[in-house]
């Protein structure tokens, strides 16, 4: 599962693409105008933030590790004794309040009612290094596309090799939480890199925005797994409608929660899916994945065994209520649990509310075993040995067992790689931004070789 859905209370700068109108009651003075940068010291790696104040009183923000670039700020104030701004349309109402202190701006970042100290120095923030990011000109075609699943409009990018085809193709399915078509996280764009890799190898690749993200309509929190599976099926139908795509050679690539949805669709008797690739896809009940994830992440963060046990008891009871269909009881229990914590340990109300949606209920209660056991197509399932979100030791053995009846199933674990398939000795989610590698080249080569052996591009 994705970092954004770990049920451990942490304060983060929300990785949302934000936009809005800037406003200011006072014009920017010459002492404040210009670019500034600072590091927000949170529970994990520092988060670099850049703010540029203009002479006319507007301002923009850059958070490179979260893919936020030039986003407009609101409520901008630039008097020397009051420098302030807010980020519109971002959960937790993030903003800054401080003052000019010599050649620095000193103050506090506030989000979800919590404060963290933040100091800005003059100068432009450096972009994070992402050496694997694909750069134009590309040796293939790229087209922004839209199609529909009932009332939902789905937007994405289709990349195709040069030539007339017909090409084998794949639809990419993101991990949990609201994701854009590139699955952008911590300044990395793994789906863009994967699409580039596979398209260069001769495959057409469709990657899409999740419900409520980018150009796709709908609300993810309101969606069930049948809803999301229908979105996937609509993408497959769209690919098959294209004359340059071979309709008999369309497959699925799912990362994390996408590894739940890909088999769910592929196992349907009339789907005719040609292959499935599951990257860190869970093989056990969603609640079990979440509980084990919390154990590992909390232990790595230095939590005591008593704290871990208390969290496990809470998650066990809460998920049992959801599995029993008692959504109201689960909501009341999670609220009661949060209210019982010391004030400094309580999760923001928005985070508590997000635990008790149809989408989260679907994720927590889903058992992937029946769909995996029904597969009779080429399947590649692979894990990262240090992954702290979908733990290999928990998920690899059941994956092997579930795929026993499939005549062409490959299950593999890459030692020393995390949930994004980055090299990482510990696999902590907090390390994602600081690792320059988006996906280990060995993984890209392994998956490409597996594909070309089973679904030759020509």
Residues 6 or more apart whose CB falls under 8 angstroms from that of 349 comprise none
With tokens 């506090």, the residue in question is: 108
What's the N-to-C CA distance of the chain in angstroms?
34
Distance (Å, whole) CA 197 – CA 190: 10
Q: What confidence score (pLDDT) does residue 21 get?
A: 31
Average pLDDT across the chain, whole number: 90
Q: What share of the chain is helix, strand, coil (3-state, %, to 5)?
A: 30, 25, 40
Q: How confident is the model at residue 44 (pLDDT cuts 50, 70, 90)?
A: low
Q: What confidence score (pLDDT) does residue 18 get?
A: 23
Look up the pTM and report it.
0.83
Q: How confident is the model at residue 1 (pLDDT cuts 50, 70, 90)?
A: low
Q: How confident is the model at residue 295 (pLDDT cuts 50, 70, 90)?
A: very high
26-40, 59-73, 130-144, 348-362: lowest mean pLDDT where?
26-40
Compute the average pLDDT of residues 401-410.
Answer: 98
Distance (Å, whole) CA 42 – CA 39: 9
Instruction: Say if CB 56 and CB 27 are below 8 A apart.
Output: yes
Q: What confidence score (pLDDT) does residue 139 get?
A: 97
pLDDT above 80: residue 304: yes
Residues 6 or more apart whose CB falls under 8 angstroms from that of 278 comprise 254, 258, 259, 262, 263, 379, 380, 381, 382, 399
Q: What confidence score (pLDDT) does residue 382 get?
A: 98
pLDDT tens profile 236-292:
999 999 999 999 999 999 999 999 999 999 999 999 999 999 999 999 999 999 999
pLDDT tens profile 318-349:
999 999 999 999 999 999 999 998 877 787 78
Percent of the chain with pLDDT over 70: 93
Q: What is the CATH number of domain 140-284+367-454?
A: 3.40.50.1820
Pure H helices in 171-304: 190-200, 225-240, 258-266, 286-300
Pick the closest to residue 391 from 288, 265, 276, 310 (CA basis).
Answer: 288
* Domain locations in the chain as residue ranges: 3-122, 140-284+367-454, 286-363
pLDDT above 70: residue 95: yes
pLDDT above 50: residue 313: yes
Between helix 258-266 and helix 225-240 the angle, nearest 10°, is: 70
pLDDT above 70: residue 25: no
Compute the average pLDDT of residues 145-168.
Answer: 97
pLDDT tens profile 202-236:
999 999 999 999 999 999 999 999 999 999 999 99
State the fold for domain 3-122: Lipocalin (2.40.128)
pLDDT above 60: residue 27: no
32-46, 160-174, 289-303: lowest mean pLDDT where?
32-46
């Amino acid at each position: 599962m994705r970092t954004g859905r770990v049920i451990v209370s942490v304060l983060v700068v929300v990785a949302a693409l934000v936009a809005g109108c800037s406003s200011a009651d006072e014009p920017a003075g010459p002492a404040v105008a210009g670019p500034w940068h600072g590091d927000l010291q949170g529970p994990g790696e520092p988060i670099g933030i850049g703010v540029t104040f203009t002479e006319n009183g507007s301002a923009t923000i850059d958070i490179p590790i979260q893919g936020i670039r030039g986003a407009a700020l609101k409520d901008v104030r630039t008097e020397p004794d009051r420098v302030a701004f807010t980020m519109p349309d971002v959960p937790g109402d993030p903003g800054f309040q401080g003052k000019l202190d010599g050649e620095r701006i000193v103050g506090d970042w506030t989000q979800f009612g919590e404060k963290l100290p933040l100091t800005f120095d003059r100068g432009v923030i450096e972009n994070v290094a992402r050496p694997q990011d694909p750069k134009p000109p590309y040796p293939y075609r790229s087209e922004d596309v839209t199609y529909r699943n009932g009332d939902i409009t789905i937007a994405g990018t289709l990349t195709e090799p040069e030539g007339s085809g017909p090409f084998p193709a794949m639809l990419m399915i993101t991990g949990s939480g609201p994701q854009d078509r590139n699955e952008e996280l911590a300044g990395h764009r793994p789906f863009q890199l994967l699409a580039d890799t596979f398209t260069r190898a001769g495959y057409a690749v469709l990657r899409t925005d999740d419900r409520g993200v980018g150009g796709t309509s709908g609300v993810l929190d309101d969606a069930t797994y049948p809803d999301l599976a229908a979105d996937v099926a609509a993408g497959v139908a769209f690919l098959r409608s294209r004359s340059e795509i071979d309709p008999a050679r369309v497959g699925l690539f799912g990362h994390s929660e996408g590894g739940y949805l890909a088999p769910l669709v592929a196992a349907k008797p009339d789907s005719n899916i040609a292959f499935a690739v599951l990257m860190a896809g869970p093989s056990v009940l969603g609640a079990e994945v979440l509980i084990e994830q919390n154990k590992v992440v909390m232990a790595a963060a230095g939590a005591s065994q008593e704290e871990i046990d208390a969290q496990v008891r809470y998650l066990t009871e809460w998920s049992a209520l959801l599995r029993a269909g008692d959504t109201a009881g689960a909501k009341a229990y999670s609220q009661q649990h949060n209210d019982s914590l010391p004030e400094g340990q309580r999760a923001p109300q928005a985070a508590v509310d997000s635990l008790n949606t149809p989408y989260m209920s679907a994720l927590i209660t889903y058992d992937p075993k029946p769909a995996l056991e029904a597969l009779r197509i080429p399947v590649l399932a692979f894990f990262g040995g240090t992954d702290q979100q979908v733990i290999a030791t928990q998920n690899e053995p059941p994956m092997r067992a579930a795929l026993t009846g499939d005549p062409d199933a490959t299950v593999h674990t890459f030692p020393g790689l995390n949930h994004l398939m980055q090299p990482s000795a510990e696999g902590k989610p907090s390390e994602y931004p600081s690792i320059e590698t988006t996906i280990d080249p060995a993984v890209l080569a392994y998956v490409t070789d597996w594909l070309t052996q089973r679904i030759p591009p020509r």
